[in-house]
Amino acid sequence: MANIKPRVRIPRKAKAGEVVEIKSLIEHKMETGQRKGKDGNKIPRKIINRFECKFEGDLVFASDWHPAISANPYLAFHMRAEKTGEFEFKWIEDGGAEYVKKAKMTVS
């Protein structure tokens, strides 16, 4: 798929102190580097090797990914909502390309 689309789902509103679930999914082949193409040569590795989530600039979640992670990887985690602000989700690909998605959450 030519264009790589990241998706996130967060609650748009939350109560202070509430534990909210953050879901993310990115459309990506996660080419392992182990497969051979039709010409018999190895297809070069191209995976998302790191995922980061920042809230108002502070890193709240990060993980390093390896070739065994499935295509179109889905990741969910929980965090405590404390204040209103903006999330920045970032997927970093081999070779340095970055895919970014932002989303706001209002906390009352």
Partner 1 sequence: MGKTPSKLILAGCLALTACFAGKAFAADKKWGQYQVEDRRSGYTFAAPETRAMQDDNFQNPGMLWAEIGEELWEKTEGEAGKACASCHNGPETMKGVAVSYPKYVAEKKNLENLEQRINRCRTDNMKAKPWKYESKELLGMTVFVRNQSLGMPMNVKVDGEYAPFFEKGKAFYEQRRGQLDLACKHCHEDFEGGQLRANILSQGQGNGFPVYRLKWSGVGSLHRRFRGCNKQVRSKPYGYGSDEYLALELYVMWRGRGLPVETPAVRN
- Pair type for strands 98-107 and 48-55: unpaired
> Which among 44, 32, 22, 31 has a CA at the least distance from the CA of 88?
22
Based on CB atoms, which residue is closest to partner 1, 59 or 71? Answer: 71
Segment 19 to 48, residues that bind partner 1, using CB under 8 A = 23, 25, 27, 29-30
- Min dist CB 72 to partner 1, Å, is 4
3-state helix, strand, coil in the chain (%, to 5): 0, 55, 45
Give the one residue of 45, 54, 72, 92 binding partner 1; rule: CB under 8 A: 72
Both ends of the chain: CA-CA distance in Å? Answer: 40
Based on CB atoms, which residue is closest to partner 1, 2 or 57? Answer: 2
Give the one residue of 74, 98, 100, 104 binding partner 1; rule: CB under 8 A: 74
- Min dist CB 9 to partner 1, Å, is 5
> Which among 26, 33, 25, 27 has a CA at the least distance from the CA of 94?
33
Which residues of this chain interact with partner 1, rule CB under 8 A?
1, 5, 7, 9, 23, 25, 27, 29-30, 70-72, 74, 76
